[in-house]
A and B are shown apart, each in its own frame.
Chain A
Amino acid sequence: MLSAANIAQILMSGLLMGLIYALIAAGLSLIFGLMDVVNFAHGEFLMTAMYATFGLVVLLSLDPLILSPIVAAIMFVVGAFCYRAIIVHAMRARTNVGMVQVFATFGLAITIRGLAQLVFTPDYRSIPKSWLGGQTFSVFGVYMPAPQLAGALASLLAFGALWLLMKRTDFGKALEATREDAGAVGLVGIDRNRVFAMGWGLGAALVGLAGAMLSIFYYIHPDVGGSFALIAYVTVALGGFGSVFGALAAGVIVGIVEAVSATVLQPSMKAIGIYAVYLLVVFLRPRGLFGHL
């Protein structure tokens, strides 16, 4: 039987990982809410950020924690570039619209994977020495690994900053306006394409931050994006496509479900818990918890 200490540990592990999942999902939700496009290359953005962190650690010998804002900035540029070079064309499709968006972003995902293999080889990489790596805090007998804790805190900070951005800045308002009615914003002088590009940049930056934090304690390899991506889709659907803060709540739920599943089922089957949650939610409540359809 599980003791109270066990349960507390499960919940804490789930919470920490869940907040990181939320951060990964936030960018996906933002992009979808903005322009109704599901980015099937989102996992590869995460992977790119992890490699970028790795590369910078090797080049500059700085700690990943310090590098994380830089990686986020790099990913911002990557995201905006991807929009301008690829996505803007996908959105112009007049026929087979669904297929075009799915496969355009899929093609991007595969290309990025190939590039990662080319530059870094398929070998598993890890960041050997970092401030947080291997350290653990313990509160009342509940263990919180430092990297996960930092990731969770970074996630909360990012969501806080995002909230401020959306509510208090002109850019945030432009983002919100474009989300409401992309067709009309041109009339008030907002360049729709610019907003979309920035939206992609912001979405990529968020997942970039997550990637930087993950690289501290996760193996890095070209396929690492895959499983995280699926968790991200599940999280976004659960929270509601388009609701960034729904992604926060959903991420926590997903993290805890995963932690519980790993204990209740065999650890190799823990993903089923999350997938079952996804299916249940979309069948019973297609809008998700907080989404607008």
Chain B
Amino acid sequence: MASAFESRRRNQLIIAAVVIVVMIALPLGIKDVYVQNILVLTVMYAALSQSWNILSGYCGQISLGHALYFGIGAYASTLLFVKFGVIPWFGMAIGGVFAAMIALIVGWPCFRLGGHYFTIATIVLAEIGLILFLNWDYAGAASGLQIPVSGDSWTTFTFLRSKLPYYYFALGLAAIVWLVTFFIEDSKWGYYWRAVRENTMAAQSLGVQVFRSKMAAAAVSAFFTAIGGSFYAQFVSYIDPDSVMVFQFSLLMALPAVIGGIGTLWGPALGAAILIPFTELTRSYMGGGGKGFDLIFYGAVIMIIALARPEGLLSLVTRTRHAPP
């Protein structure tokens, strides 16, 4: 019996290894910069959504304000680079730690709130962040910050000629977040987070310190989200509050997980693989003419998934692990 469980875990790693190999090989034949772009974004959103999934999927605390941490990461590394010359590799790590601290400070009062109140609080906090950054002249206020790109450099993590290095970094990040989630799944935290999600009172009666659990989930989630933000800043070389801290971003981080399978290991990746290429393609073919077809489609898909298949599309691909006898 113990070995059945262990073999399941081993299979997950094998699948992951195969996926990684495929993903590493995937862009090598692709010269079209536009397609490369889509690949980078897809992998980035897979990483971001997986980070979101840690707090909102596994621990059940639905955040619709994760753009806050994304923005903090983006601004932290960019400010450190532009104003102090700190290379982004350090800036990213600092941004991540800073975001985790903010998550703890924010979580301290917020996690006492029940479901809806918490979700709305996350929206409100992200809005406050947005307004503050829009008015913060040192960080460029509404005009934002530009990252100087003079050529290809791994030190400053900027590349002019090819998107490939960005792609591999994002892939690495996605792989790391996936691994973290993988280990969480068979850890005390993982069990406790799911217990908190399912039934807080029962969890407490079994010795789970609910508040502490939520805080831990929030910190881990915020850390990786911020690193994603730093990455994005380097990728687009220009950030402003309206591009990194807006509500749409919070939603876009949540959607892949919701569509693919909230609270699952592969859900966010699957959701990103479906959602992001589709987004980019519709944007170019429907030409941003503002017809609203893309919104109508999204809205409908979200509703259908939420109502008909809240476990996400992943459940169509895998059999449920626990089939009744």
> A: which residues have CB within 8 A of B?
32, 38, 86, 89-90, 93, 95-96, 98-100, 102-104, 106-118, 121-122, 222, 226, 230, 233-234, 237, 241, 266, 268-269, 271-272, 275-276, 278-279, 282-283, 286
Q: How far is the CB of A121 from chain B (nearest CB, A)?
A: 6
**Residue among B115, B116, B128, B294 with the most chain A CB within 10 A?**
B116
Q: CB within 8 A of B307: which of A89, A98, A266, A283?
A: A89
B306 close to A99 (CB less than 8 A)? yes
Indicate whether A104 sits within 8 Å of B124 (C-beta atoms), given known contacts A114-B295, A222-B292.
Answer: no
> What residues of chain A lie closer than 8 Å to B124, measured between beta carbons?
230, 233-234, 275, 278-279
Bound CA span A108–B310, Å: 15
List 20 other contacts, CB 8 Å, given A32-B116, A226-B247.
A38-B120, A86-B303, A86-B307, A90-B306, A93-B310, A96-B311, A99-B306, A103-B306, A107-B299, A108-B303, A110-B299, A114-B297, A114-B298, A117-B291, A117-B292, A230-B124, A268-B134, A279-B121, A279-B125, A286-B113
Q: Is the interface of A mostly helix, strand, loop or mixed?
A: helix
B292 close to A113 (CB less than 8 A)? yes
A114 close to B296 (CB less than 8 A)? yes
Instruction: Answer yes or no: B29 CB below 8 A from chain A CBs.
Output: no
A-B contact count (CB 8 A): 141
A111 close to B295 (CB less than 8 A)? yes
Bound CA span A275–B124, Å: 6
> What residues of chain B lie closer than 8 Å to A283, measured between beta carbons?
109, 112-113
Closest to A88 in B: B307
Bound CA span A82–B7, Å: 46
A286 close to B292 (CB less than 8 A)? no
Q: Could you give 13 example pairs across A and B, Cβ below 8 Å?
A: A38-B119, A38-B120, A104-B302, A113-B295, A113-B299, A114-B298, A114-B299, A117-B292, A118-B292, A222-B292, A268-B134, A279-B124, A286-B117
Q: CB within 8 A of B116: which of A38, A103, A107, A226?
A: A38
Bound CA span A114–B305, Å: 18
B60 close to A98 (CB less than 8 A)? yes
> What residues of chain A lie closer than 8 Å to B109, measured between beta carbons?
279, 283
Bound CA span A241–B115, Å: 12
**Residue among A114, A115, A222 with the most chain B CB within 10 A?**
A114
Q: How far is the CB of A284 from chain B (nearest CB, A)?
A: 9
Q: CB within 8 A of B300: which of A99, A107, A117, A271?
A: A107
> B: which residues have CB within 8 A of A?
56, 60, 62, 64, 109, 112-117, 119-121, 123-125, 127-128, 131-132, 134-135, 247, 251, 258, 262-263, 290-307, 310-311
Q: CB within 8 A of A95: which of B114, B307, B310?
A: B310
A282 close to B290 (CB less than 8 A)? no
B290 close to A103 (CB less than 8 A)? no
B300 close to A116 (CB less than 8 A)? no
> What residues of chain B lie closer than 8 Å to A38, measured between beta carbons?
116, 119-120
> What residues of chain B lie closer than 8 Å to A113, measured between beta carbons?
292, 295, 299
A104 close to B131 (CB less than 8 A)? no
Indicate whether A109 sits within 8 Å of B292 (C-beta atoms), given known contacts A279-B121, A283-B109.
Answer: no
> What residues of chain A lie closer than 8 Å to B305, measured between beta carbons?
103, 107
Bound CA span A222–B124, Å: 21
> What residues of chain A lie closer than 8 Å to B247, measured between beta carbons?
226
**Residue among B114, B131, B251, B297 with the most chain A CB within 10 A?**
B131
B299 close to A108 (CB less than 8 A)? yes
Q: How far is the CB of B176 from chain A (nearest CB, A)?
A: 25
Indicate whether A114 sits within 8 Å of B293 (C-beta atoms), given known contacts A107-B300, A107-B302, A271-B127.
Answer: yes
B121 close to A110 (CB less than 8 A)? no
